[in-house]
Amino acid sequence: MSRPPDPKFLLRGDMDENVHSLLFSINSDVEHLYAGDGKGTVHIWDLKTNRIKYQLSDGCSPCFNLHITNKTDLIVQRRHGIIDVYKMNESNWILDKSINYEYCSFCRSQLLPENDAVLIPLDCSVVGTLSLKTFKVESTLDPSKLSYSNKLGTVMAMKSLMDVNGSVLVAYEGGQLLLWDMRKNDVLSSLTVEQYPMTFDFDASLMQGILGSASEKLEIFEMLPNHALSHKCTRSLEHVNGISILSVRPDKKIVTAGCWDGRLMLFSWKKLRPLAILKEHRASVYDIVYSQCKVEAYDTKCLMAATGKDGYISMWDIYNN
């Protein structure tokens, strides 16, 4: 591995020590980075000045995930079972609706832009589809009829695969990864993985996924043409006791693992070849995001941002040439 670069910038401000979620908002008018912290505040950073431009402080529950919809609404998922919906009024975000689905979870919600809905974790291993029109749970993925349903445990992570016939991958506490058909509320395939899976990502172009857990192992899996999930390989990471976040870059060249000890470990996505270890953070990494387009303020075609328990955001321009 070559010597890793220094971060392009570190964002700190007056954020809480725990920053749980990040979201880029890049267009011809603005270059912003949204950060949700442990006190419930959403900080909106202007990347042209590297200063906080706005703060949304309408809740006290930690912000676990952030989404912007096709209608440009801002969706904030909070730790204690709350979804807040903000609408833009001139240049300010205004809280429009707050929905309490009464289930406390660490699992991140998933936006379903085609359905104008959000996937949320619910009790009893259930995943719900929360409509952003009615603000009600319109449908569920309920595993109670499965013979092994009592072994699934809590919903730990999920990902919508709209490119794969509108299916959803869900990882459960007991060590099961299920591929659901949302239209039929039916399980298409299952795969046994490490217990306590913390995070996974999936690339529909390669039909390949990567999963991290409360262990040193990275598990690579694939989806076959018949939708069957299959284990591909396992890589054990040295001096790692847990992986909290995995994120495949939009160009599908790199995957980054955020570890419990604060390290960011970069691998080539196709062959999982180690590329770099970034040691800027000193505590668990909670989120890693990439810009979907060029960020003019940083003069980079794909900017990576990472954050976590230490309360600041590291900005990286790495392997973009």
CATH for 64: 2.40.10.480
Q: Is residue 188 part of a domain?
A: no
Residues 56 and 71: their CA atoms lie apart, in Å, by: 19
Residue 43: pLDDT band with limits 50, 70, 90: very high
Distances in Å between the Cα of 48 and the Cα atoms of 68, 210, 315 are 20, 34, 13
What is residue 163's predicted lDDT score, i.e. its pLDDT? 79
For residue 312 the two structure tokens come to: 């600041």
Domain count, the chain: 1
Mean pLDDT (the chain) is 95
Is 281 within the bounds of a domain? no
In this structure, which amino acid lies at residue 58?
D
Q: Is the pTM of this model over 0.85?
A: yes
Full domain range(s) for residue 39: 15-99
pLDDT (tens digit, 9 = 90+) per residue, 82-117? 999 999 988 889 999 999 998 999 999 999 998 899
Is there a domain that residue 282 lies in?
no
In a domain, 61, yes or no: yes
Rounded to an integer, what distance in angstroms lies between the CA atom of residue 95 and that of residue 54? Answer: 14
- pLDDT tens digits along 150-207: 999 999 999 999 878 889 999 999 999 999 999 999 999 999 999 999 999 999 999 9
Please check whether residue 228 lies inside any domain of the structure.
no
- Alpha-carbon distance of 106 to 79, in angstroms, equals 7
Look up residue 188 and give its two tokens.
């298409």
CA pair distance 243, 262, nearest whole angstrom? 10
Amino acid letter at 141? L
pLDDT interval class at 1 (50, 70, 90): low
Q: Please indicate, yes or no, if residue 247 is contained in any of the structural domains.
A: no
Beta bridge partners of 259: 243
Q: Are the CB atoms for 256 and 281 separated by under 8 Å?
A: no
| Tokens (6 digits) for 60 | 């006290």
213 falls within a domain = no
Within a domain: 71: yes
SS3 content of the chain, % helix, strand, coil (to 5): 5, 50, 45
What phi and psi, each to the nearest 5 degrees, are found at residue 184? Answer: -110, 0
- Measure the CA–CA gap between 128 and 211, rounded to whole angstroms: 22
Task: Classify the C-alpha dihedral 255-45-103-82 as positive or negative.
Answer: negative
Intra-chain end-to-end CA distance of the chain, in Å: 16
